[in-house]
Amino acid sequence: MDFDTLISSSQLYEDNCQLSVPKTWSQGRTVFGGLSSALMLKHMYLRINDDTRNLLSFSCNFIAPLLTETPFIISTKILRSGKNVTQVETTIQQNEATCLVSLACFGIQRQSKISIPAEEVPSKLNENINPKQTLRYIEGLFPAFIQNIDLNLQHGAMPFSGADSSDIHGWMRFKDKARGNLDEFNVLALADAWPPTLLQLCDSPSPASTVSWYIEFLQPLALNDSQWLGYQVSTHQANGGYGTEDAKIFSQTGELIALSRQTVAVFDS
């Protein structure tokens, strides 16, 4: 089952919708975080039901494992909807336990004399994408969800390689993107597809998990018919088994479209 099919599920139109996700979208013992986040975002949009309100920011706390092939419930509450901004909270519960909690901010575009263009440009990203640099999915070595996504690594290292750099630069896309152009649901899911940067510093297999994630979307969202999205991430700080990653996401034509920060827990001892 591809991403577009999952994100278009008719159950998402229900106030308290019940879904399950196949094992092909697993990340270790849990549902791939990018997919679960995108499902929450879609439920938010359907509850707001206002095309004039664009996504400004999305945050998510990963509280407990969300199991594949097991039903879970998505619930959304509009905390406040003002003249310009709407604040929304969504939770996922499974087996009577809260697994994920997210907050998002949606805003109406307004006229303003202030205009500061994003000057960030992708570095160490070759726009001529070499297929030989796209990671080949190997069952048992990569999380199952990677079979649905192409990751084209251009700078950085593989997990558990004992590298001396925590940067990753590369391109990403869904393998099966047959319907329409990319949107914020695709961007959100793909932004979580790369392994945590801390893992390439490890010299042996070590578990890791995202604790919290915050991502801001630049408006208007300039995807320009992108097929690939550029990704640049580095470890801002790491200590005591936790690290903070800062990432930038670009369209294929080089526009900065989102800024991301994750707190990651790594268990390398």
- N-term to C-term CA, the chain: 37
For the segment 43-60, the average pLDDT, to the nearest whole number, is 97
Residue 133 lies in a domain: yes
Q: How far is residue 33's CA from residue 100's CA, in Å, rounded to a whole number? A: 9
* pLDDT at residue 225 is higher than 80: no
Residue 97 lies in a domain: yes
Structural tokens at position 236? 């801002």
pLDDT bucket at 115, cuts 50 / 70 / 90: confident
In one letter, which amino acid is 49?
Answer: N
Residue 262 lies in a domain: yes
Q: What are phi and psi of 91, to 5 degrees?
A: -125, 155
Does the predicted TM-score (pTM) go above 0.75? yes
Residue 119 lies in a domain: no
Distances from the Cα of 203 to the Cαs of 157, 169, 200, 240, 266, in angstroms?
12, 20, 8, 17, 13
Site of tokens 């790491």: 238
Q: How far is residue 169's CA from residue 30's CA, in Å, rounded to a whole number? A: 25
* pLDDT at residue 178 is higher than 70: no
Structural tokens at position 13? 């139109």
pLDDT bucket at 164, cuts 50 / 70 / 90: confident
Say whether the peptide bond before residue 196 is cis (omega within 30 degrees of 0): no
pLDDT bucket at 125, cuts 50 / 70 / 90: confident
Give the range of the structural domain holding residue 156, as residue numbers without chain letter. 3-110+126-266
* pLDDT at residue 222 is higher than 90: no
Q: Which contiguous run of DSSP H or E holds residue 224?
A: none
Q: What is the dihedral of CA 142, 143, 146, 147, to 10 degrees?
A: 80
* pLDDT at residue 239 is higher than 70: yes
Q: Are 20 and 71 in contact (CB under 8 A)?
A: yes
Q: How far is residue 214's CA from residue 259's CA, in Å, rounded to a whole number? A: 8
Residue 39 lies in a domain: yes
pLDDT bucket at 180, cuts 50 / 70 / 90: low
Residue 242 lies in a domain: yes
Residue 117 lies in a domain: no
The enclosing domain of 224 has a CATH number of 2.40.160.210
pLDDT bucket at 167, cuts 50 / 70 / 90: very high
* pLDDT at residue 37 is higher than 90: yes
Domain count along the chain: 1
Q: How far is residue 246's CA from residue 160's CA, in Å, rounded to a whole number? A: 20
Stronger pLDDT, 41 or 118, i.e. the higher one: 41
Q: What is the pLDDT of residue 179?
A: 54
For the segment 201-220, the average pLDDT, to the nearest whole number, is 92
Q: How far is residue 24's CA from residue 29's CA, in Å, rounded to a whole number? A: 12
Residue 118 lies in a domain: no
Structural tokens at position 154? 């251009």
For the segment 88-113, the average pLDDT, to the nearest whole number, is 96
Q: What are phi and psi of 197, to 5 degrees?
A: -60, -30
